[in-house]
Amino acid sequence: MADQINTLEDLNTVAGIEPVAEVETPREPVRDSLGRAYATGKRKDAVARVWIKPGSGKVIVNGKPINTYFARPVLQMILKQPFTVSGTEDQFDVMATVKGGGLSGQAGAVKHGVSKALQLYDPSLRGALKAAGFLTRDSRVVERKKYGKAKARKSFQFSKR
């Protein structure tokens, strides 16, 4: 055979098929009628419903200010990380309701929700948030207890006699 077909382009030219250029559609902002972006964040057993809107940087969690609900500075820092990474400190007001889990899991859930909501509000922030790993749900959860075991994996003490 004189003219061999080695690649997909060769096959397309022989068949007379024009290559189609892939067009990347830009993401559209997702906002409700009040100009807010909504997202659900999760970590461990905690689930957070988060709304963000342009504002002065006020954060309300379960009806309380951030420094009342998350009293530890570490938890407040966790919650503000998405704004720091995206460079939008004090530009958005956050209203969140959190259920389940402990304080650490709840802070992680709100952080996840804020990151997702920021990305929905302004799709250009997606790259920075994704690179920082804030759009990925931390799926580690407590393993269930199995029958015949003291805990999830711990066995009862063995006695030979």
Q: What is the pLDDT of residues 31-60, one digit of tens each?
A: 888 989 999 999 999 999 999 999 999 999
Mean pLDDT rounded to a whole number for the chain: 89
Each residue's pLDDT tens digit, 86-145? 999 899 999 999 999 999 999 999 999 999 999 999 999 999 999 999 999 988 889 999
Q: Of 139, 111, 118, 159, nearest to 44 (Cα)? A: 139
Q: Where are the domains of the chain?
A: 37-123
Helix spans in the chain (H) = 8-15, 66-69, 73-86, 103-121, 126-131
CATH of domain 37-123: 3.30.230.10
